[in-house]
């Protein structure tokens, strides 16, 4: 894990389950929301709680500090204590339900984007498939994992790490170049309990809509409208292979269509965009 400088105290309001649930819509106040001072990983903690509480189809976990947080491809995710929002929503589908878990990284990105935008009024965009950016810099990373905790059920842990009241000077120098925070963008502290409630509410709404048959194709136009990847020249790492070209569109399955540098086209259902830059006409 990367070393970060730690603030002397938690600025603003500390996270609490009561403060989060009090800000949920009236029909969601019965949701289980847990807040911990420190965990290894909110995804791991939420998974364990979902396994223990077999009757709960949906719960949320937040922590002031993660000691073993992780991002995509097993990378570590670090955040100074008490300034970011580190949380996971874990959910379970009924046995035999056609849940399409492969669509959840995209659905989660849309849901969390809505939550951040609703609290801050900032223009938040999506870097395919599920990083959230402001002004081209990463403000939130999302990690969706399938978890085996119940026989016959598809269960998912959807973790989101958001730089909320993070002073960029507290982050490693190399991270400062590509990351931002809500504090840096708004110039004001953001109440993390309010944002946590917004994220839980939007993810729960998406979960209940998928139970009624929602597919990514139903939100395809919203993704197109808010995806900053499209029209950019991109370098993508897929496994051990580099792919380079222009991101042209995202289809209704969630796949990214690339016009490669050799003039051919390729459709990607997974991969990590390592570098993007605008195409300038001459």
Distance CA 99, CA 101 (A): 6
CA–CA gap between residue 46 and residue 158 (Å, rounded): 9
Q: Looking at the domain 229-277, which fold is it? A: SH3 type barrels. (2.30.30)
Backbone angles phi, psi at 185, to 5 degrees: -85, -30
Per-residue pLDDT of the chain (282 residues; tens, 9 = 90+): 333 444 444 557 899 999 999 999 999 999 999 999 999 999 999 999 999 988 899 999 999 999 875 555 445 555 678 999 999 999 999 998 999 999 999 999 999 999 999 999 999 999 999 999 999 999 999 999 999 887 789 999 999 999 999 999 887 888 888 999 999 999 999 999 999 999 999 999 999 999 999 999 999 999 999 999 999 999 998 888 899 999 999 999 999 999 999 999 999 998 888 877 776 543
Residue 267: which of 277, 282, 252, 280 has the closest Cα? 252
Give CATH for domain 17-223: 3.30.930.10
> Look-up: residue for tokens 């097993």?
74
Residue 175 confidence (pLDDT): 84
User: What's the confidence (pLDDT) of residue 79?
Assistant: 66
Q: State the pLDDT at residue 278.
A: 73
Q: Where are the domains of the chain?
A: 17-223, 229-277
Q: Which pTM was predicted?
A: 0.90
Query: Which contacts (CB < 8 Å, 24+ apart) does range 208-214 have?
Result: 210/99, 210/100, 210/107, 211/93, 211/97, 214/107
């Amino acid at each position: 894990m990367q070393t970060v400088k730690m603030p002397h105290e938690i600025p603003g309001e500390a996270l609490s389950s009561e403060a989060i649930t009090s800000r949920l819509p009236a029909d969601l106040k019965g949701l289980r929301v847990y807040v911990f001072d420190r965990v290894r990983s909110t995804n791991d903690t939420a998974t364990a709680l979902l396994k223990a509480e077999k009757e709960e189809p949906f719960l949320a976990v937040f922590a002031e500090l993660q000691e073993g947080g992780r991002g995509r491809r097993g990378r570590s995710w670090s955040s100074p204590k008490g300034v970011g929002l580190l949380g996971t929503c874990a959910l379970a589908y009924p046995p035999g339900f056609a849940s399409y878990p492969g669509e959840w990284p995209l659905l989660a990105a849309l849901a969390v984007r809505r939550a951040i935008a609703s609290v801050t009024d900032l223009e938040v965009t999506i870097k395919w498939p599920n990083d959230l950016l402001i002004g081209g810099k990463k403000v939130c990373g999302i990690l969706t994992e399938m978890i085996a905790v119940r026989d016959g059920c598809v269960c998912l842990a959807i973790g989101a790490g958001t730089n909320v009241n993070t002073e960029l000077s507290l982050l490693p120098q190399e991270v400062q170049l590509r990351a931002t925070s809500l504090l840096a963008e708004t110039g004001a502290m953001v109440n993390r309990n309010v944002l946590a409630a917004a994220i839980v509410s939007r993810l729960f709404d998406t979960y209940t809509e998928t139970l009624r048959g929602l597919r990514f194709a139903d939100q395809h136009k919203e993704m197109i409208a808010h995806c900053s990847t499209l029209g950019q020249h991109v370098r993508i790492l897929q496994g051990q292979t580099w792919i380079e070209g222009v991101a042209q569109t995202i289809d209704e399955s969630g796949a990214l269509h690339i016009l490669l540098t050799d003039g051919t086209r390729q459709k990607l259902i997974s991969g990590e965009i390592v570098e993007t830059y605008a195409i300038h006409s001459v």
